[in-house]
């Protein structure tokens, strides 16, 4: 799998997890009244915190492979800073996404990849979506996606179809499920591949821990 393909899947998955992991909503002018009402109700259920950490399990179904590709690890989402996506299995690596850049480090901590949004159009598009989600969260989704969904006593679900032509070239739809936090993200790609991300034991915190803050320096 190419770096760009892996980057788009991983960063978008982390971004969509972030939407329900730190929520402060405004009214999205491009949202329909029904979408505005739905997102407002979801926002009332979502835990609002400047930092959220937890674990994840990810299954990637790729054409040509009989079995899904499995990975797992932990993450930190920090409002205004970015996301640290730490894969522990099957191979250790760390992805750090900031508003203007992306870095990937190997298990030894050495930098393996660095990309700047100003140089990479795909990264620029995904980062713009990611950090608009993190700064205005649920309501901002309606500027990037057509939003439908439903509410239930035990949780909520959202169905997202991308508005942005660049995202639509590879992403067909996204399904989100959750309650106080997002619990599951399903990414359906335009070419038929798909990813399922399960969020495990998310915890809200008021500030970054020192070791996490160092990741963003």
Mean pLDDT of 129-141: 50
Q: What's the pLDDT at 5? A: 53
Sequence-separated (6 or more) residues with CB below 8 Å from residue 67: none
35 beta partners: none
Query: Residue 10 has what pLDDT?
Result: 60
Please indicate whether residue 85 or residue 9 has the higher confidence score (pLDDT).
Answer: 85
The residues pairing with 98 across neighbouring beta strands, listed in sequence order, are: 101
pTM of structure: 0.80
User: What is the average per-residue pLDDT within 64-72?
Assistant: 87
Whether the pLDDT of residue 86 is over 70: the answer is: yes
Mean of per-residue pLDDT scores for the chain: 77
Q: Which domains does the chain have, with CATH numbers?
A: 3-216 (2.50.20.10)
Range ranked top by mean pLDDT from 53-62, 73-82, 102-111, 167-176: 53-62
Q: What is the average per-residue pLDDT within 40-62? A: 84
Cα–Cα distance for residue pair 68/60, rounded to 1 Å: 5
> How far is the C-alpha of 157 from the C-alpha of 173, rounded, in Å?
13
**pLDDT at residue 153 in the model:** 86
Q: Are 128 and 162 in contact (CB under 8 A)?
A: no
Say what the pLDDT of residue 27 is.
42
CA distance 139 to 183: 19
| Phi-psi map region of 82: left, alpha, beta (phi>0 left; psi -120 to 50 alpha) | left
């Amino acid at each position: 799998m190419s770096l760009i393909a892996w980057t788009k899947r991983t960063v978008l998955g982390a971004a969509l997890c972030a939407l329900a992991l730190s929520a402060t909503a405004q009214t999205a002018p491009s949202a329909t009244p029904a979408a505005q009402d739905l997102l407002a109700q979801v926002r009332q259920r979502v835990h609002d915190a400047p930092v959220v950490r937890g674990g994840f399990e990810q299954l990637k179904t790729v054409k040509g492979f009989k079995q899904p590709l499995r990975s797992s690890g932990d993450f930190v989402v920090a409002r205004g800073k970015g996301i640290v996506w730490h894969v522990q299995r099957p191979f250790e690596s760390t992805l750090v996404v900031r508003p203007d850049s992306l870095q990937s480090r190997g298990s030894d901590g050495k930098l393996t990849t660095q990309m700047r949004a100003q140089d990479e159009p795909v990264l620029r598009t995904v980062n713009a979506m990611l950090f608009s989600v993190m700064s205005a969260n649920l309501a901002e989704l309606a500027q990037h996606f057509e939003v439908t969904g439903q509410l239930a006593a035990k949780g909520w679900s959202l169905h997202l179809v991308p508005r942005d032509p660049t995202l639509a070239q590879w992403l067909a739809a996204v399904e989100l499920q959750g309650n106080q936090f997002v619990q599951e993200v399903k990414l359906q790609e335009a070419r038929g591949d798909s990813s399922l991300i399960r969020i495990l034991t998310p915890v809200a915190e008021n500030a970054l821990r020192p070791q996490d803050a160092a990741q963003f320096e």
